[in-house]
Amino acid sequence: MDLDLLSNIFYAMVRTGTPLLLVALGELICEKSGVLNLGQEGMMLFGAVIGFIVALSTGNLWLGVLLAMSAGMLLSMLFAAVALGFNANQVATGLALTIFGVGLSTFVGAAWVGKPLAGFEPIAIPLLSEIPLIGRMLFAQDILVYLSFALFGLVAWVLLKSRIGLIIQAVGENPDAASAMGLPVLRVRTLAVLFGGAMAGLAGGYLSLAYTPMWAENMTAGRGWIALALVVFASWRVFRVLLGAYLFGLASIIHLVAQGIGLSIPSNLLAMLPYVATILVLVLLSRDAIKTRLFAPVSLGKPWQPGH
Partner 1 sequence: MSSSPSVPRLQLSGISKRYPGCLANDRIDLSIAPGEIHALLGENGAGKSTLMKIIYGVTQPDSGEIRWQGEPLKMRDPAMARSLGVGMVFQHFSLFETLSVAENIALAMGAAAGTPKQLEPKIREVSQRYGMALEPGRLVHSLSIGERQRVEIVRCLMQDIKLLILDEPTSVLTPQEADELFVTLRRLAAEGCSILFISHKLGEVRALCQSATVLRGGKVSGHCIPAECSDLQLARLMVGDAEGLESSYPKAGGGLPRLRVDDLSWHNADPFGCTLSQIRLEVRSGEIVGIAGVAGNGQDELLALLSGETRLPRSERERISLDTQPIADLYPDARRKLGLAFVPAERLGHGAVPDMSLSDNALLTAFQQGLLSKGLIQRGKVRALADEIIQRFAVKTPDADAPARSLSGGNLQKFILGREILQNPKLLVAAHPTWGVDVGAAAAIHRALIALRDAGAAILVISEDLDELFQISDRIGALCSGKLSPLAATAETEAVEVGRWMAGEFAPLPPITSPLAAAAASLS
160-169 LR contacts (CB < 8 Å, sep 24+): 160/238, 168/29, 168/32, 168/33, 168/192, 169/32, 169/297
Shortest separation between residue 307's beta carbon and partner 1, angstroms? 11
The residues in 274-293 that bind partner 1, with binding defined as CB under 8 A, are: 289-290, 293
182 touches partner 1 (CB under 8 A): yes
173 touches partner 1 (CB under 8 A): yes
From candidates 61, 170, 192, 253, binder to partner 1 by CB under 8 A: 170
Nearest partner of 88 among 307, 300, 306, 302, judged by Cα: 302
Residues 6+ apart with CB under 8 A from 279: 229, 233
- Which one, 115 or 187, has the nearer CB to partner 1? 187
From candidates 183, 254, 256, 277, binder to partner 1 by CB under 8 A: 183
Shortest separation between residue 38's beta carbon and partner 1, angstroms? 24
180 touches partner 1 (CB under 8 A): yes
d(CA 14, CA 136): 10
From candidates 63, 295, 301, 303, binder to partner 1 by CB under 8 A: 295
Shortest separation between residue 192's beta carbon and partner 1, angstroms? 17
- Which one, 115 or 293, has the nearer CB to partner 1? 293
Secondary structure string (H, E, C) spanning 27-48: HHHHHHCCCCCCCHHHHHHHHH
166 touches partner 1 (CB under 8 A): yes
181 touches partner 1 (CB under 8 A): yes
Whether 156 and 239 have beta carbons less than 8 Å apart is answered as yes
d(CA 40, CA 288): 28
From candidates 3, 116, 163, 268, binder to partner 1 by CB under 8 A: 163
d(CA 215, CA 233): 30
The residues in 129-158 that bind partner 1, with binding defined as CB under 8 A, are: none
∠ Cα 213 215 220 (to 5°): 95
Whether 109 and 51 have beta carbons less than 8 Å apart is answered as no
174 touches partner 1 (CB under 8 A): yes
Burial per residue of 128-148, b for 16 or more beta-carbon CB atoms within 10 angstroms, e otherwise? ebeeeeebbbbbbbbebbebb
- Which one, 134 or 173, has the nearer CB to partner 1? 173
Shortest separation between residue 108's beta carbon and partner 1, angstroms? 42
Query: In the complex, which residues of this chain contact partner 1 (CB under 8 A)?
Result: 163, 166-167, 169-170, 173-174, 176-178, 180-183, 289-290, 293-295, 298
